[in-house]
Structure 1
Amino acid sequence: MLEKVKVLICDDNVAVHESISAYLLAESMEFESVYNGEDALIQLKQERFDLVILDIMLPGLFGTEVCRNIRKESDVPIIMLSAKDEEFDRILGLELGADDYITKPFSPREVIAHVKTILKRVNYALAKQGEILTIGEMKIDQSTFEVQIRGKKMEFTPKEIELLIFFAINKNKVLSREQILNKVWCYDYFGDTRAVDHLIKRMRKKLPQENIGFEIKSVYGMGYRMENLS
């Protein structure tokens, strides 16, 4: 795990801060607490954080808008918190680049488990320094999370790049939505599989329309497959 992991907690509920921060401290992680979106953005400009825990329903600036603003400047992992009746907002948060979401009410242990899983993925990516995946005309640098197609840098969110990596490693294999959710979001994640459809739809729009040597195909009743055409 990263040394001196520092987490930013953004929620307007004091009890949420108290419960999560106690477990973070028990895991020797540091934290800062803010209670609205504007302060979260200010704090992120002033300090380096390894992960952000972000509530959707915030006073003033909603969490989805905070997530959108963070992704304009940073790839810091984001876990979004949402109430059970905010399904649309949860999916929107994932589309905007959140790495995971947890539904309220939750156990602090559940939050810590998600934090650890995401940090493991970050460390795994760092360990892959210099390793480049190639499929068709696309190259993915796993250390810098940079994607190039025919030498041109593509603008993908970190979550989209994780999905591309997962597809490239398993090229020509059919991957179910559940497999994608469990691998790309969180290994023990069980959520709405429509988040996968939304992410792939958005990612397809960013890919060049001309032949690039691969295609992400829908497999009816099963999931998706990245097919190597070259």
Structure 2
Amino acid sequence: MRNLTVLICDDNVAVHESISAYLNAENINVVSVYDGEKGLEQLQQRHFDMVILDIMLPKMFGTDVCREIRKTSDVPILMLSAKSEELDRIIGLELGADDYVTKPFSPREVVTRIKTILKRTTPKIEKKVRFAELSIDMEAYSAFVHDVKIEFTPKEIETLYCLASNQGKVLSREQILNKVWGYDYYGDARVVDTQIKRLRQKLAIDDVHFAIKAVYGVGYKFEIL
């Protein structure tokens, strides 16, 4: 569906370079910031699957950043700390950090910790789901209505699953883009409208009790009728 994205918040360029190299090799996207305030700005602007957070940061300590993050988000946080910062590290864990690594560290160890945390916290996609007369098999990339297969393109299937698995929840075009096309997609958001139009045409079947509805000025939602 999409690649994972990790935010690295550290004032040491070498830390960014070493961790990024390993994460990119694992097909994990990286966004780098170098002070605490910029880290919070990024988190307010977009979704991240994980945050790597140094304790000693310019403008705002990592422990304060962690406290602010936990007011609104449960995104996994891996804290980086020097041995002399043991008290701050403990405070960070008490504030809700998921793990910590002591500097100096092996980039490979950090990436191993990251993968372990992501594996534990990333929700598993249900391969086969059913919504009223609609059933979706993400393993086979196929969908059926009244047990009759409907021909969809891969992106149509992903868009349909995205909406149906968030049944009753309104998703903006940007949210759908991020979930289906990924955060590195910079194309026109109207591609979502085109996909929805195609889905509706293919799902215009008699005697069904579900629908994809537009919510003016917001986005789309999948409803059981």
For normalisation by structure 2, the TM-score amounts to: 0.54
Q: C-alpha displacement at 1:3, in angstroms?
A: 3.5
Q: C-alpha displacement at 1:100, in angstroms?
A: 0.4
Within-5 A mapping of 1:179-198: none
Q: Letter of the 1:6 partner, please give it.
A: T
Q: What does residue 14 of structure 1 align with?
A: 13
Post-superposition Cα deviations, 1:19-65, rounded to whole Å, max 9, x if no partner, equal 00000100000010000000000000111100000000001200000
Choose 1 or 2 for highest CA Rg.
2
Aligned residues: 126
CA distance in 2, matches of 1:66, 1:115: 19
User: What is the SS of the residue equivalent to 2:52?
Assistant: strand
Gaps of 5+ in 2: 127-225
Q: What does residue 75 of structure 1 align with?
A: 74
CA distance in 1, matches of 2:11, 2:32: 10
Within-5 A mapping of 1:149-168: none
- Pair 1:122 & 2:96 matched: no
Post-superposition Cα deviations, 1:184-223, rounded to whole Å, max 9, x if no partner, equal xxxxxxxxxxxxxxxxxxxxxxxxxxxxxxxxxxxxxxxx
Q: C-alpha displacement at 1:112, in angstroms?
A: 0.5
Within-5 A mapping of 1:74-113: 74-113=73-112
Within-5 A mapping of 1:201-216: none
What percent of counterpart residues are identical? 69
CA distance in 2, matches of 1:118, 1:25: 17
Within-5 A mapping of 1:26-37: 26-37=25-36
User: What is the SS of the residue equivalent to 2:84?
Assistant: coil
CA distance in 1, matches of 2:83, 2:2: 34
Q: C-alpha displacement at 1:127, in angstroms?
A: 4.1
CA distance in 1, matches of 2:25, 2:91: 32
Q: What does residue 46 of structure 1 align with?
A: 45
Q: What does residue 59 of structure 1 align with?
A: 58
Post-superposition Cα deviations, 1:118-173, rounded to whole Å, max 9, x if no partner, equal 011113xx3499xxxxxxxxxxxxxxxxxxxxxxxxxxxxxxxxxxxxxxxxxxxx
CA distance in 1, matches of 2:105, 2:99: 14
CA distance in 2, matches of 1:69, 1:88: 19
How much is the aligned-residue C-alpha RMSD, in angstroms? 1.5
Q: What does residue 133 of structure 2 align with?
A: none
For normalisation by structure 1, the TM-score amounts to: 0.53
Q: Letter of the 2:45 partner, please give it.
A: Q
User: What is the SS of the residue equivalent to 1:52?
Assistant: strand
